[in-house]
């Protein structure tokens, strides 16, 4: 694997594996940009929902994805100039995002937008197909996962801390359903690529996971 002049660290993995948090912290430590690609699918679902575009309307959804007026700003993102609130992280939008993400038209509409995040001095990108489709030449690829029970528990705690009440059992079922849809879809399915390093965080803290990524990145850098 060789590094493009602007290095990318690709972190893929299932929902609620902690990859977003790890990616943001690694980016912070390296002074790199960060791409939360799932946010683009979530925002597409959110805007489609408020504009009355059906989740079965591929052309309509692709148009929404293409014209998303989103800006990534310090500490979050804005949609049509307004800060995006927690609605984007709700379980309903999570499920809708995973349905929207099955369409070729939507994935193509978001491709160039994602690639535009590759800016000096480097990028940490998290999602499902960062290492396989969006940045196949990433200098470091990781597949970050944890058991589905652990992921459901973590998500449950996060939501409870935000005052959002959910039933753990339902969360577990929803995660399983979303994992299955993401892993078995025809386009850019979620699978561990042969060139991605497995990082199972079931028994790890976030800080340990961040160190793991930084140590591997250092090895790649030294080899370059």
Residues that bind ligand C5P (CB under 6 A): 15, 37-38, 41-42, 94, 97-98, 101, 127-129, 178, 182
CB of 222 to ligand C5P, least distance (A): 29
Cβ-based nearer residue to ligand C5P, 32 or 103: 103
Please calculate the CA angle 102-32-28 and round it to the nearest 5 degrees: 100
Three-class secondary structure of residue 87 per DSSP:
helix
CB of 39 to ligand C5P, least distance (A): 6
Cβ-based nearer residue to ligand C5P, 184 or 222: 184
Residues 223 and 209: their CA atoms lie apart, in Å, by 22
148-170 burial: b if 16+ Cβ within 10 Å, else e = bebbbbbbbeebeeeeeeeeeee
Helices (H), 82-188: 91-100, 104-115, 148-161, 168-184
Residue at token pair 């793991």? 212
Cβ-based nearer residue to ligand C5P, 7 or 127: 127
CB of 15 to ligand C5P, least distance (A): 4
Cβ-based nearer residue to ligand C5P, 15 or 201: 15
CB of 178 to ligand C5P, least distance (A): 5
């Amino acid at each position: 694997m060789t590094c493009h002049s602007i290095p990318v660290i690709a972190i893929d993995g299932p929902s609620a594996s902690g990859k977003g948090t790890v990616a943001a912290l690694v980016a912070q430590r390296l002074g790199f940009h960060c791409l939360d690609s799932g946010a683009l699918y979530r925002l597409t679902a959110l805007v489609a929902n408020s504009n009355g575009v059906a989740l079965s309307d591929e052309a309509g959804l692709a148009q929404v994805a293409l014209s998303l007026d989103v800006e990534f700003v310090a500490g979050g993102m804005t949609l049509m100039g307004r800060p995006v609130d927690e609605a984007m992280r709700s379980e309903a939008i999570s499920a809708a995002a995973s349905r929207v993400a099955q369409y070729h038209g939507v994935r193509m509409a978001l491709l160039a937008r994602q690639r535009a995040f590759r800016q000096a001095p480097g990028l940490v990108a998290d999602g499902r197909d960062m290492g396989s489709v969006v940045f196949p030449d990433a200098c470091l690829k990781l597949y970050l996962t944890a058991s589905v029970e652990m992921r459901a528990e973590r998500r449950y705690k996060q939501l409870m801390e935000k005052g959002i009440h959910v039933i753990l059992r339902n969360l577990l079922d929803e995660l399983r359903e979303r994992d299955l849809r993401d892993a078995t879809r025809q386009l850019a399915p979620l699978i561990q690529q042969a060139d991605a390093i497995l990082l199972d965080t079931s028994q790890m803290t976030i800080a340990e996971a961040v160190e793991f990524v930084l140590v591997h990145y250092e090895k790649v850098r030294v080899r370059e």
